[in-house]
Amino acid sequence: MEATNNLQTAMRDHFDNWQLSGLSQIGYCSLHGLSFAKFNYWVRKFRGKRDAAPVPQSGFLSVSVSSLGTPILEVTRKDGQVLRFYRGADAGFVKSLLD
């Protein structure tokens, strides 16, 4: 029973973080080494229980960072948004942000 509660808590944390990330489910699963099918099961389960307003399925969120340092990669999208990476990022992940 405790293992089930731990799994549910861990997946709830992933669910909440995924919603804040702005990533697709596939992108989030790839980034965090999760099975898409299992994650999607939990997403459907948690969506059925929540009362909050829906979170947009795509787009970017503003993030405040206290100390930036120097980015190792900076990409400017056609719409003028700038993506800055302060540590290495997988090329597939960067591509998913640009699609």
* Closest among 59, 93, 64, 62 to 79, alpha carbons compared: 59
* Closest among 68, 55, 49 to 23, alpha carbons compared: 55
% residues pLDDT > 90 (the chain): 34
Q: What's the distance, CA 16 to chain centroid?
A: 9
Q: Is the pLDDT higher at 98 or at 34?
A: 34
In the chain, the amino acid numbered 47 is R
% residues pLDDT > 70 (the chain): 84
CB 9 within 8 A of CB 2: no
pLDDT digit string, tens, across residues 25-67: 999 999 999 999 999 999 999 888 654 555 566 677 777 776 6
Residue 13's pLDDT is 94
